[in-house]
Amino acid sequence: MYNLWYKNAVIYCLDVDAFMDSDGDGVGDFQGLADRLDHIEALGCDTIWLLPFYPSPDRDNGYDITDYYSVDPRLGNLGHFVEFSQAAKDRGLKIMVDLVVNHTSIDHPWFQMSREGHPKYADWYVWSKEKPADADKGVIFPGVQESTWTFDRKRQAYYFHRFYKHQADLNIANPAVREEIERIIGFWLALGVSGFRVDAVPFMLEDLQGSGDGETPYGYLAQIRRFLSWRRAEAILLAEANIPMDQADDYFGNDDRLNLVFNFPLNQKLFLALARRDGTPVGEFLKALPNIPETAQWATFLRNHDEIDLGRLEDDERKEVFAAFGPEKSMQIYDRGIRRRLAAMLGGDERRIAMAFSLMLSLPGTPVIWYGDELGMGDNLDLPERDAVRTPMQWTARKSGGFSTVNPEDCVRVPVSEGPFGYAHVNAEAQRIDPTSLFSTVQRLIRARRSCPEIGWSGAEVLDCGKPAVIGLAYSWRGNRLMTLHNLSDAPQTVEITNLIDGGEVRPVLQAGIDIDRSGDGLTLKLGAYGYQWLHLDPPVEVE
């Protein structure tokens, strides 16, 4: 069996243009990122996921790509990418990049030639002479997107775009397009990449419905996986796929399709639990989590680069989460999500933020952390749509948060400079040397997660703690047992555990706001407000 490194990895996601500016133009770049790898290494993450850094008109944060084989000139060039890749390798850090092949920018040469009817590219996109009757249905961005089909005057036909009209969908059913996708994957693997976060997977598969090749659309996932494995056996595919759990088999296959899938439904239940201060939604969801292949994995997260998508919650549940974490219209987006940072939603309460991190890291799967959340960075709601949570990294208390030498208004996106989340109060420089800071707490939590492979390798048993506010999970793998407890409420909770000890030893991995009393084979644990505990449960020692 090949190296399943991702089972116990901790992934750090960042936007290169918002991380560190090395040349004073107000835009982050690869040289600046390479110079700041010590922060990621010190935090304890072992994998870096880069948002799109390819040439782009940047109408959608780089997801509207014009060249898959190069680097946006604002961020550097391929030489700078290779230097960064080598610097990451020297620190033992793996690199994942975004594979955005559901669509391209309409400025991409492929689309320009397709609209002109070029014989090679004419069928590289999805065209229709007539506007389909359902063109106004299925829009992804309500309020800012009116249709999924747009008329092109040069071709005198409509092109399909599941997303914005400046992002035309590639015709994945075309074998030539699929060959090009493999070429893109091979190119970045050759430059040191260890995996891909695949964008908009359900919509890629949707475009394959009419391929006529005799395979189900999901068979294409196996095709990509085979190619990936041939080129680099240990490389992985992490899917952005907000799927119901009954589709898990379709995406993971029989260990021959995707390696990881983001568990969006779990994330939504997690925020519902945080809003209610009641762990029941998470516990019930985990009890029903389907079995997946041993080598497959869910990816867990608190925040990502997009909105917190609440679309799979019931209407009344969604209203609860909005009321708790996004009560103002300016905090909501697309009628389904919240465009705020974690720390801002949790009121800046570091106890609650730390508990949320601890809980996420203890959920079954591979954790993914959004840059800046380890510091408790806030959001800038004056920025449009999803940009509110993509502000520059806050390195110091100095001008522009140490991200750039230019003034804040000249940065790629205006940083958070005012209020309790401004860079004068929240920055890496101060937190790195403070053992009580949020950074230091998250650092210890990540260290604990990486020392507990039980979480990545085994399923979670949901414990009946007798207190709705407390989520109790137990893991067992290769003779090792682990128990985690999290109090989602602002009131102390006492929990009794009697069926896991069996006369063995109890070793704390980490704890916050908790007291433990041992009585025979039972434990009484007193969790303070937002308290949490990780315990190794050793079997009794046999005396000969």
Residue 142 has pLDDT above 90, yes or no: no
Residue 71 one-letter amino acid: V
Per-residue pLDDT tens over the stretch 483-500 = 999 999 999 999 988 766
Residue 517 has pLDDT above 50, yes or no: yes
Closest CA to 33 of 445, 447, 395: 395
Per-residue pLDDT tens over the stretch 212-238 = 454 678 999 999 999 999 999 999 999
Q: Are strands 470-477 and 94-99 parallel, antiparallel or unpaired?
A: unpaired
State the catalytic residue, choosing from 46, 60, 169, 240. 240
Q: Nearest 5°: phi and psi at 170?
A: -70, 150
Q: Which residues pair with 151 in a beta bridge?
A: 158
What's the per-residue H, E or C state across 169-194?
Answer: EECCCCHHHHHHHHHHHHHHHHCCCC
Segment among 345-354, 433-442, 532-541 with least mean pLDDT = 532-541
Residue 461 has pLDDT above 80, yes or no: yes
Residue 465 has pLDDT above 80, yes or no: yes
User: Cα separation of 59 and 279, whole Å?
Assistant: 39
Closest CA to 48 of 109, 100, 95: 95
Please say if 240 is a catalytic residue: yes
User: Cα separation of 126 and 256, whole Å?
Assistant: 28
The residue with tokens 């490194």 is 5
Q: How far is CA 79 from CA 73, 85, 380, in A?
A: 11, 10, 33
User: Cα separation of 494 and 220, whole Å?
Assistant: 50
Here the tokens at position 35 are 């110079």
DSSP 306-340: S-EE-TTS-HHHHHHHHHHH--SGGGEETTTEE--
Per-residue pLDDT tens over the stretch 61-115 = 999 999 999 999 999 999 999 999 999 999 999 999 999 999 999 999 999 999 9
Residue 206 is predicted with a pLDDT of: 84
Please say if 58 is a catalytic residue: no
- Going from the N-terminus, what domains does the chain have, and what CATH number goes with each? 5-102+175-450 (3.20.20.80), 104-171 (3.90.400.10), 458-537 (2.60.40.1180)
Q: What is the model's pTM?
A: 0.95
State the catalytic residue, choosing from 46, 64, 98, 199. 199
Give the pLDDT mean for 17-32.
98
Residue 242 one-letter amino acid: N
Other Cβ atoms less than 10 A from the Cβ of 422: the count is 17
Strands (E), 334-479: 337-338, 366-370, 461-463, 470-477
